[in-house]
Amino acid sequence: MIYKTLLETIGNTPLIRIPFPTPATILAKLEYLNPGNSLKDRSALYMIEAAEKRGDLQPGGTIIDASSGNHGISVAMIGKAKGYKVIIVVSTKTSKEKLSALYAYGAEVVVCEPTPFIDDEKSYHNVSQKLAASLPNACYLNQYYNTENRDAHYKLLGPEIWSQTAGKVTHFFAGAGTGGTVSGVGRYLKEKNPATTICAVDALTSFRATKGNPKPYKIEGLGIDFTSEVLDYSVIDYFAEISDESAFDALRLLVKEYGLLVGPTSGAVIAACLEKLPTFTEKDTVVLIFGDSGRAYLSKNFYLQPDNPQDVFIPQHPQDQISL
């Protein structure tokens, strides 16, 4: 099949079986095979095109948003394809590989120090918001509070999973950062079958998990660190709170035993699934979201055994980061 544009290739990612030792069917949705290499292609395109329809994004305009990396890369890719200027605000937690991708797409990048709370005036969210307000013809996507983030997965990813499993999905696991994926897909699957179990995978030391007393963690793109309407608690059956160590152990298991080089949020999803593995039966079909590729994190050495250090090549970033 020949596509007219790059953007038409977003979605329709494969669902593959992982042969875990269980009578259940465990399926991984390989979202890193989207053209921007992550799940965020779907929601970024949906939000950008919604802004175009409303008239908030005009020809020659500038798209601005905060991101842990993947959303920003998707926005930069789509913005380039559509002819917009893109400015992405990230924290120093973002991997070198993600920063390199943002620069490669021609995005302007502003780098902020991490803050414990998203409403801190120096947080990358607040910096992006102020930047958007200060520039003419700028469109602020606001992925953390924009419910179109959730709607994208309700209208696109949810139906795709239902169709690919022929309606047999019984359990759904997804990492929760903004909450858009687990909420959108969860809502769709619950409408089709209210008995479907929806698990939101959270960081062990996130704002939600610690009841408002967050502590630093290493996983990018995971962790419910603020309160937003994007996250729909009504469709979530339970939260799995996963430590960095458990997520990284699962990453190493996936790549060494199954040949799947995926990102740390996928490791957290696998860790949550493994916790429930003894409870699954032959009647269960479990779908796991693998949101991005491990190639975006190689410089962080997550895939090495911590008790078996090796000499590894760590690529240097080709240009200095832009600090606000």
Which pLDDT band, with edges at 50, 70 and 90, does 307 fall under? low
Of 120 and 133, which is predicted with more confidence?
133
**What is the arithmetic mean of pLDDT over 295-316?**
69
Sign of CA dihedral 240, 243, 247, 249: negative
The answer to whether residue 310 is domain-embedded is: no
The verdict on residue 171 lying in a domain is: yes
- For residues 37-51, give the mean pLDDT: 98
250 occurs within a structural domain: yes
Predicted model pTM: 0.92
Sheet of strand 285-290, all strands in order from the earlier edge strand to the far edge: 15-17, 25-30, 285-290, 171-175, 197-203, 238-242
pLDDT one-digit tens code per residue, 162-187: 999 999 999 999 999 999 999 999 99
116 Rama class: left (phi>0) / alpha (psi -120 to 50) / beta = alpha
Are residues 282 and 217 part of one domain? Answer: yes
Residues 68 and 127 in one domain: yes
Query: Does 96 map to a domain?
Result: yes
Instruction: Give mean pLDDT, residues 222-246.
Output: 96
User: Measured between alpha carbons, how far is 56 from 30 in angstroms, rounded to an integer?
Assistant: 32
Tell whether 67 and 184 lie within a shared domain. Answer: no
Span 76-91, pLDDT tens digits? 999 999 999 999 999 9
More confident site: 119 or 22: 22
Catalytic one among 40, 82, 98, 276? 40
Percent of the chain with pLDDT over 70: 94
Cα–Cα nearest to 80, from 95, 96, 63, 65: 63
Domain with 252, as residue range(s), is 6-35+147-300
Examine the pLDDT at 34 and tell me if it is beyond 50.
Answer: yes
Q: Is the pLDDT of residue 311 over 60?
A: no
Q: How far apart are the first and last CA of the chain?
A: 45
Beta-sheet pairing, 25-30 with 15-17? antiparallel
- Are 106 and 29 part of one and the same domain? no
| Segment 124-137 mean pLDDT | 94
Q: What is the predicted pLDDT for the residue at 304?
A: 84
Tally the residues of the chain. 324
Identity of the residue numbered 288: L
The 3-state secondary structure of the chain reads CCCCCHHHHCCCCCEEECCCCCCCEEEEEEHHHCCCCECHHHHHHHHHHHHHHHCCCCCCCEEEEECCCHHHHHHHHHHHHHCCEEEEEEECCCCHHHHHHHHHCCCEEEEECCCCCCCCCCCHHHHHHHHHHHCCCEEECCCCCCCHHHHHHHHHHHHHHHHHCCCCCCEEEEECCCCHHHHHHHHHHHHHCCCCEEEEEEECCCCCCCCCCCCCCCCCCCCCCCCCCCCCHHHCCEEEEECHHHHHHHHHHHHHHHCCCECHHHHHHHHHHHHHHHHCCCCCEEEEEECEEHHHHHHHCCCCCCCCCCCCCCCCCCCCCCEC
- Asked whether the predicted pLDDT for residue 150 surpasses 90, the reply is yes
pLDDT > 70? residue 323: no
In a domain, 45, yes or no: no
Instruction: Kindly state whether residue 117 falls inside one of the protein's structural domains.
Output: yes
Both 61 and 206 in one domain: the answer is: no
Looking at the fold, whether 152 and 123 belong to one and the same domain comes out as no
Name the residue among 252, 222, 254, 253 with its Cα closest to residue 239.
222
The answer on pLDDT for 314 being more than 80 is: no
For the cut 90, the answer to whether the pLDDT of residue 237 exceeds it is: yes
Report how many domains make up the chain: 2
Residue 53 binned pLDDT confidence (cut-offs 50, 70, 90)? very high
* Together in a domain, 64 and 201: no
Residue 33 corresponds to which tokens in the numbers above? 């095979």
Q: Tell me whether strands 85-91 and 62-66 are parallel, antiparallel or unpaired.
A: parallel
Q: In terms of domains, do 97 and 214 share one?
A: no
29 belongs to the catalytic site: no
Is residue 307 situated within a structural domain?
A: no
Helical axes 96-104 vs 70-82, angle rounded to 10°: 10
Amino acid at 182: V
> How does the average pLDDT of the chain come out, rounded?
93
Assign residue 248 the CATH number of its domain. 3.40.50.1100
Has residue 64 got a pLDDT over 70? yes
For range 34-51, the mean pLDDT: 98
Report the pLDDT averaged over residues 54-79: 96
Residue 220 maps to a domain? yes
